[in-house]
C-alpha cells in the first residue's frame, strides 16, 4: 500500500500515469517506479544514483543536511562512546544490542574463526612483496570462496550467520599476513584469548623472539574507528557487494567485489590519498597553492578527504575521529601532519568554493593520522577501513538474501550509440 501518489504526464501523448509514493521512517519520500516501464514504456535515467534508492533497508540512516548517522536507530556518537565493535557488529546483524551472554557468544564465534587454512597461507607467497595490500586482500578474500563453497547454503540463515562471523574473523588475519608478507616477517598466529582489536594488533606488530604488549590506547582507538566505519548505507562498495551478491553468487566473491570498489581513491582509498596529499603540500605556506589547484576546473587535483555525496554540512564521523586524533597524539606525540591538516581544513572551510558546494572533511581526512601513529603503513589504511566496513557488508548481504522477493540487480541504460547498420561486405 502506498502512502500517496504522484502523477506523471507524457506531454507528447497527453497520457497520465499514477505512481505510488512511500514515506520512509526518515528522509525524502520515494516514488516507486518498479512498474514504470511495463505501464508507460519509459525508463528513468540517473547516472551515479543521484536520486535513486537502489533498495529498501532497515540497517542504517544518514541525514546529509543534519550530519546525522544512525545504525539501527542508535546515533553514531553514542555507539562510538559506549559500544565496542563486536557489539556494533551484533547490532548490525540482529537489530538489537547484545546482552552480556550474546556478546560473549559472538566474541567466541569470531575468535573461533580467525584461523586460515594452511593452503590459503601459501597463496600469499605468490604475491610480490610490494603488491598493494588491497590487491592482495581482494584476491585472498575472493579465494575464500574456493574453501567455503559446496556445503554453503545461502538460503540457510545459520550458514549466512556463520559466513558473517568468518569474514569478520578472518579479515584481520588476512590483513596481518599481508603486512607481514610485505615486510618479509614470519606471521604470528591469532591469540583467541585477546580482544578483537588486541588480537589484530598482536598479529600485526608482534615479532617472534620479542615481547609485545598491547597498548590499550591503540586498542581502543582502533575499536572506535571500526565502529565509525562499520556501515554507511548504500555507498559504492556496499552497493557493489549487493549487486554482485544479488545473483546468489558465493558471498566471499561478493565481498571481494565490495573490497575492490572500496579501494578507489574517491571512496575508501581516500584515507591513503590524504597522507600522500599532506606530504605533497609539505608546509602550511603551500596550502593556498593546493586550495587553488583544487578549485581549478582544469586541474584534476581534489582535496582528498573532503566532500561527500550525502553529507553537505559535516560528516559526524570526522568530528569523532578528530577527537581520537588528539587522544592518540597525547600518547604517541604530536604529528606535524595534524597541524597541516587542521590548517588546511580551516582555510578550506572559509573559502567560498567549499562553502557553496558543501564540502567538509569526511571520515578519511583525519583517520590516516591515527593509523600512522599506531604504526600502520599508508598502504594498509584502506585495509583497516575494509575490516570495519565488512560488518555492514555482512548485514546488508544477509538483509538482501533474506528478502522474500529478492531480484537480481540489473540496471537499464540510455543507449546513445550508432543506429542499426549493415556490415559493408
Ligand atoms: N575538492 C575539490 N572540489 C570538490 C571536491 C574536492 N574534494 N569534492 C567535490 N568537489 C566539487 C566538484 O568539482 C563539483 O564542483 P562543480 O559543481 O563546480 O562541478 C562539486 O564539488 C560536486 O562534486 P561531485 O564530484 O559532483 O560530488 P560527488 O557527490 O559525485 O562526489 C566525492 C563525492 C567522490 C566524495 C568527492 O567529493 C571527492 O572526490 N572527494 C575527494 C575524495 C574523498 O575524500 N573521498 C572519500 C569520500 S568518503 C568515503 O567514501 C569513505
DSSP letter (8 states) at residue 157: H
Task: Determine the pLDDT at residue 1.
Answer: 78
170 alpha carbon – ligand 1 mean position (Å): 33
Cα gap 416→394, rounded to integer Å: 37
Which grid cell sits at 395?
548485514
Which grid cell sits at 17?
500515469
- Name the nearest CA neighbour of 385 among 368, 397, 373: 368
Nearest CA to ligand 1 atom 49: 267
- Give Cβ neighbours of residue 154 (< 8 Å, ≥ 6 apart): 160, 163, 248, 251, 401
Which grid cell sits at 362?
569526511
Q: Within 13 Å of residue 152, how many CA atoms lie on the same side as its CB? A: 19
Nearest CA to ligand 1 atom 26: 309
Task: Determine the pLDDT at residue 366.
Answer: 93
Catalytic residue, chosen from 364, 396, 405, 422, is: 364
Task: Determine the pLDDT at residue 141.
Answer: 98
- Name the nearest CA neighbour of 389 among 233, 252, 271, 192: 233
Task: Determine the pLDDT at residue 42.
Answer: 96
Nearest CA to ligand 1 atom 44: 305
Q: How many other β-carbons are positioned within 10 Å of the β-carbon of residue 192?
A: 15
DSSP 174-190: HHHHHHHHHHT-PPPPP
Ligand 1 in contact with 303 (CB < 6 A)?
A: yes
Task: Determine the pLDDT at residue 208.
Answer: 84
299 alpha carbon – ligand 1 mean position (Å): 14
Task: Determine the pLDDT at residue 14.
Answer: 96
DSSP letter (8 states) at residue 418: P
With 0-12 / 13-18 / 19 or more C-beta atoms within 10 angstroms meaning exposed / middle / buried, residue 78 is exposed
Task: Confirm whether 113 is a catalytic residue.
Answer: no
Task: Determine the pLDDT at residue 43.
Answer: 97
Residues in the chain where the model's pLDDT stays below 50: none
Nearest CA to ligand 1 atom 45: 266
Which grid cell sits at 88?
556494533
- CA diameter of the chain: 81
Task: Determine the pLDDT at residue 362.
Answer: 93
Cα gap 390→402, rounded to integer Å: 18
- Give Cβ neighbours of residue 85 (< 8 Å, ≥ 6 apart): 196, 197, 223, 226, 227, 230, 388, 391
Task: Determine the pLDDT at residue 131.
Answer: 96
pLDDT digits (tens, 9 = 90+) for 383-413: 999 999 999 999 999 999 999 989 999 999 9
CB contact at 8 A, 185 and 207: yes
- Name the nearest CA neighbour of 271 among 137, 393, 384, 178: 384
Nearest CA to ligand 1 atom 4: 302
Cα gap 386→168, rounded to integer Å: 10
Task: Determine the pLDDT at residue 148.
Answer: 93
Q: Angle of helix 236-245 relative to helix 251-262, nearest 10 degrees?
A: 150
The torsion of the CA quartet 114, 118, 120, 126, rounded to 10 degrees, works out to: 130
47 alpha carbon – ligand 1 mean position (Å): 15
Task: Determine the pLDDT at residue 2.
Answer: 86
Task: Determine the pLDDT at residue 36.
Answer: 96
- Give Cβ neighbours of residue 152 (< 8 Å, ≥ 6 apart): 159, 163, 250, 251
Task: Determine the pLDDT at residue 150.
Answer: 82
Catalytic residue, chosen from 267, 288, 351, 405, is: 267
Cα gap 321→283, rounded to integer Å: 23
Ligand 1 in contact with 49 (CB < 6 A)?
A: no
324 alpha carbon – ligand 1 mean position (Å): 25
Amino acid at each position: 500500500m502506498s502512502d500517496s501518489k504522484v502523477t506523471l504526464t507524457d506531454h507528447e501523448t497527453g497520457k497520465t500515469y499514477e505512481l505510488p509514493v512511500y514515506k520512509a521512517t526518515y528522509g525524502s519520500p520515494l516514488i516507486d517506479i518498479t512498474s514504470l516501464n511495463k505501464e508507460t514504456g519509459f525508463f528513468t535515467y540517473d547516472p551515479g544514483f543521484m536520486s535513486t534508492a537502489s533498495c529498501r533497508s532497515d540497517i542504517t540512516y544518514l541525514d546529509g543536511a543534519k550530519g546525522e548517522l544512525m545504525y539501527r536507530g542508535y546515533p553514531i556518537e553514542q555507539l562510538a562512546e559506549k559500544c565496542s565493535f563486536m557489539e556494533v557488529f551484533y547490532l548490525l546483524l540482529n537489530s538489537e544490542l547484545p546482552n552480556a551472554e550474546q556478546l560473549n557468544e559472538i566474541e567466541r564465534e569470531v575468535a573461533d574463526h580467525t584461523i586460515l587454512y594452511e593452503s590459503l597461507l601459501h597463496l600469499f607467497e605468490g604475491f610480490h612483496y610490494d603488491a598493494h595490500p588491497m590487491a592482495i586482500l581482494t584476491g585472498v578474500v575472493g579465494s575464500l570462496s574456493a574453501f567455503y563453497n559446496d556445503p554453503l547454503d545461502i538460503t540457510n540463515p545459520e550458514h549466512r550467520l556463520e559466513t558473517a562471523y568468518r569474514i569478520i574473523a578472518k579479515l584481520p588475519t588476512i590483513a596481518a599476513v599481508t603486512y607481514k608478507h610485505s615486510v618479509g616477517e614470519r606471521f604470528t598466529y591469532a591469540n583467541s584469548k585477546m580482544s578483537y582489536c588486541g588480537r589484530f594488533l598482536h598479529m600485526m606488530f608482534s615479532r617472534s623472539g620479542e615481547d609485545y604488549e598491547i597498548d590499550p590506547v591503540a586498542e581502543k582507538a582502533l575499536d572506535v574507528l571500526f565502529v565509525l566505519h562499520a556501515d554507511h548505507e548504500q555507498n559504492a562498495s556496499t552497493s557493489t557487494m549487493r549487486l554482485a551478491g544479488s545473483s546468489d553468487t558465493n558471498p566471499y566473491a561478493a565481498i571481494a567485489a565490495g573490497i575492490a570498489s572500496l579501494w578507489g581513491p574517491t571512496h575508501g582509498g581516500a584515507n591513503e590519498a590524504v597522507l600522500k596529499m599532506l606530504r605533497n603540500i609539505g608546509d602550511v605556506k603551500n596550502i593556498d597553492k593546493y586550495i587553488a589547484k583544487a578549485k581549478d576546473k582544469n586541474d584534476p587535483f581534489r582535496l582528498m578527504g573532503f566532500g561527500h555525496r550525502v553529507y553537505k554540512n559535516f560528516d559526524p564521523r570526522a568530528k569523532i575521529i578528530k577527537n581520537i586524533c588528539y587522544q592518540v597524539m597525547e600518547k604517541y606525540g604530536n604529528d606535524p601532519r595534524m597541524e597541516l591538516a587542521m590548517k588546511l581544513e580551516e582555510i578550506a572551510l572559509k573559502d567560498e568554493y567549499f562553502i557553496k558546494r558543501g564540502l567538509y572533511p569526511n571520515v578519511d581526512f583525519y583517520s590516516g593520522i591515527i593509523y600512522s601513529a599506531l604504526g600502520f603503513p599508508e598502504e594498509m589504511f584502506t585495509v583497516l577501513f575494509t575490516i570495519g566496513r565488512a560488518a555492514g557488508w555482512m548485514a546488508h548481504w544477509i538483509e538482501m538474501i533474506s528478502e522474500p522477493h529478492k531480484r537480481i540487480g540489473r540496471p537499464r541504460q540510455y543507449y546513445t550509440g550508432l543506429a542499426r547498420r549493415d556490415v559493408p561486405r
